[in-house]
Amino acid sequence: MKARRIELSLPIEAETLPDPEAVVPVFHAFIRDGALGEVLVDVARYGHVKNAPAVVLVGHASDYVIEVTPEGPRLAAVRKRGAAPDDRRLADVAGRLLTAARLVQAALPQIRFRTDELRLRVLDRLNAPNSAETYQRLVDEVLAFAGGWLGEVALEHGPDAAGPLEIRIRRAHSDPLEALWARLP
């Protein structure tokens, strides 16, 4: 697959993040301190816009997003530029997501992430249209990566046919972030 713009996200236990605005000063600190080891540019608030991310940490190569979905809040890492080679792209975005999640959790200890479900979205409709055929082409790659990293997983084609290609990666249990970090390929 030629698509390079991918997003991986983790759910946040809703009661641990009552207001996404709490992450704004944390994201500003990431810029100030160079915490993510990449060029970060700005923090944008979109909480007033329906069906949009609540807070976005905008970077040159990656964005980090707090979004509130009908299922609850999530933290996402979006790889935009300078993607890793095909055999490392999922590990690359997973590493960025876990790094950001660990730093957010260190700054706001009340936040708890669930690791029993990850959502992978391919944000390139030209090279990866949201279709059953594209989903089937990606299943083996995602299973090989997620199974090797997370253990036994089940994949599900996302429910929004009008949105980008979405693959839900489900697990039977939720491990602490540190456990996932330690097993990251």
pLDDT reported for residue 185: 85
Residue 68, CB-side half-sphere exposure with 13 Å CA sphere: 17
Residue 2 pLDDT grade (very low, low, confident, very high; cuts 50, 70, 90): low
Given a contact cutoff of 8 angstroms between Cβ atoms, the answer to whether 44 and 58 are in contact is yes
pLDDT reported for residue 99: 97
pLDDT, tens digit (0-9, with 9 covering 90-100), for 58-108 = 999 999 999 998 889 999 999 998 777 677 889 999 999 999 999 999 999
What mean pLDDT is reported for the chain?
A: 92
More confident residue, 103 or 2: 103
The C-alpha angle with vertex 142 and arms to 71 and 152, in degrees rounded to 5, equals 75
Model-level pTM?
Answer: 0.94
pLDDT, tens digit (0-9, with 9 covering 90-100), for 156-170 = 999 888 899 999 999
